[in-house]
Amino acid sequence: MALRIAVLISGTGSNLGALAQAIDEKTCDARIVAVLSDRASAQGLAFAAQRGVPTAVVAMRDYPDRAAWDLALADKVSEFAPELVVLAGFMRVLGAPLLERFPRRVINVHPALLPLFPGTTGPEQAIAARMRVSGCTVHVVDSGVDTGPIIAQGVVRVLPGDTADTLHERIRGAEHQLYPRVVDAIARGQVTLDPEVRVHGAIDDAVALLSPVFPAFPMSPPGAGASS
């Protein structure tokens, strides 16, 4: 039976779209039972509604404080009885109520190779650090910021002349490949999250597809500008 997933978004929901496409193509054994957002303006809500997926908005401004919002979010997600909560561009740090309601059943995709560059500026940090490679990380969500156990990673090359925006766009492409594969692997028992993350081989193939052996960078002579 397909894994019941609730997807949390704050914006366009491009990873939501990638998950939906993989489900349609029967390469991800999951069913999206709800899409929730902290923003009524999130474009991904319209995408979900067009597919007949129930949606809900839990906006922080509608609650007297953060603690009340945390509890309301946990209650609303629980109404849909998901087996896995999938963050897809959800721009809020989750509080204890949701994490305690779904222990080790909340995952996120982050646009950097954790533990490097946590937070909201992974691509910018990779550019500033002059990294040769960057990528994405799918991890279990815990009470920290991008500190939970790593499930899988995909690598992309940082090209000469890259900006944070161009790098982030390629990282999104890697996310769109990797995230549905991880959800599928969890659904099929090829990845287990309890009591710790265990990968039973299948997801390694997905990571390998995103991690080719890159040719060496062309090196500029001393004093020359970087090629673009």
Instruction: Look up 176 and say whether it is catalytic.
Output: no
Give the containing element (helix H, strand E) for 32: strand 30-37
Using CA atoms, how far residue 168 sits from 89, 98, 141, 211, in Å, is 13, 28, 21, 16
Range list of H helices, 80-163 = 96-101, 122-128
Catalytic residue selected from 110, 139, 168, 176: 110
The rounded distance, in Å, linking the Cα atoms of 157 and 159 is: 6
Phi/psi region, residue 145 (left: phi>0; alpha: psi -120 to 50; beta: rest), is beta
131 C-beta neighbours (distance < 10 Å), count: 19
The rounded distance, in Å, linking the Cα atoms of 59 and 131 is: 37
Write out the two tokens for 158: 């940082």
Angle, CA of 41, 107 and 148, to the nearest 5°: 120
Among 106, 124, 135, which residue's Cα sits nearest to residue 209?
135
Residues designated catalytic: 110
